[in-house]
Structure 1
Amino acid sequence: MNDRRRQGLEKEISRIVGTTLLTEVKNDKIRRLVSIKETTLSKDGKYVDLFFSILDIDENLNKEKLIEDLNKLKGFFRKAIGSELTIRHTPEVRIHIDNTAEYGVKISSILNQISKKDSE
């Protein structure tokens, strides 16, 4: 599969999964706390890696439970992708959590603490 086709499929799969998250997922926690960040399709088109970002950055949020709930939805996402796209083989879904937003907030709070110490 050429790169241009793969990039187009990645964008379309990202749109499908995002719409499915907002409209069809019944788990309210996932619908409120998770957003699709990146989609990567393998070169042969057999696997799609979905990178989700956690929107609510709480210390008491159980990430393992959230990942487990997302993994339970893999088949649901695959079915949604297969029904919307006209491709020969629907790719197998793999779920990943992207921690860059959480890391950015952590770095920002550290920088704010350092600037407060410098101003004192």
Structure 2
Amino acid sequence: MSRDFSRTDRVGQEIQKEVAMIIQREVKDPRMGMVTVNAVEVTRDLAYATIYVTFFTLEGQNVEQSIELLNEASGFIRGLLAKRIKARIMPELRFVYDKSMIEGVRMSSLVDQAVASDQQKKNDKGDA
């Protein structure tokens, strides 16, 4: 019987949970705002972890600056993570902005516009 999740998936889930807690409670940089950890991809050798994040943007907040701040704090976050997770190898953390949420909202908006356009055309044909 095969396993449902690979080891890298389980490690990624644990890293996602702990990094979210660390960013929320330990990283005290007001320039960053609210950060959501969406997903974590860990390489097979557990050497690197790519962490996908989104931000609840504040006025004047720059996403690139926030990603840069997280990448600068990655050593600090990795140290705290190593204390919380018992692992022989602690992956190097890389933070990446996750655009999927914005793309989802954009696609939903396009679908709504198309449906409204079709409804308008249907109503115009019915009136004629």
Give the TM-score normalised by the residue count of structure 2.
0.76
Give the TM-score normalised by the residue count of structure 1.
0.81
Relative contact order: is structure 1 or structure 2 higher (C-alpha 8 Å, sep ≥ 6)? 1
Instruction: Give the gaps of 5 or more residues in structure 1.
Output: none
Q: Give the corresponding residue for 1:11.
A: 13
Q: Give the corresponding residue for 1:38.
A: 39
Instruction: Give the gaps of 5 or more residues in structure 2.
Output: 121-128
1:71-90 aligned within 5 A: 71-90=71-90
The size of the alignment, in residue pairs, is 117
Runs ≥4 in structure 1, deviation > 4 angstroms? none
RMSD between aligned residues: 2.4
Q: CA deviation at 1:28?
A: 3.3
Q: Do 2:71 and 2:95's aligned partners in 1 also have CA atoms closer than 8 Å?
A: yes
**Percent of residue pairs identical:** 26
Q: Do 1:41 and 1:47's aligned partners in 2 also have CA atoms closer than 8 Å?
A: yes
Q: Give the corresponding residue for 2:70.
A: 70
Q: CA deviation at 1:42?
A: 0.9
Q: Do 1:25 and 1:31's aligned partners in 2 also have CA atoms closer than 8 Å?
A: no
Q: Deviations over 1:7-34 (max 9, x none)?
A: 22111111110111211111234342x2
Q: Give the corresponding residue for 1:118.
A: 118
Q: CA deviation at 1:112?
A: 2.6
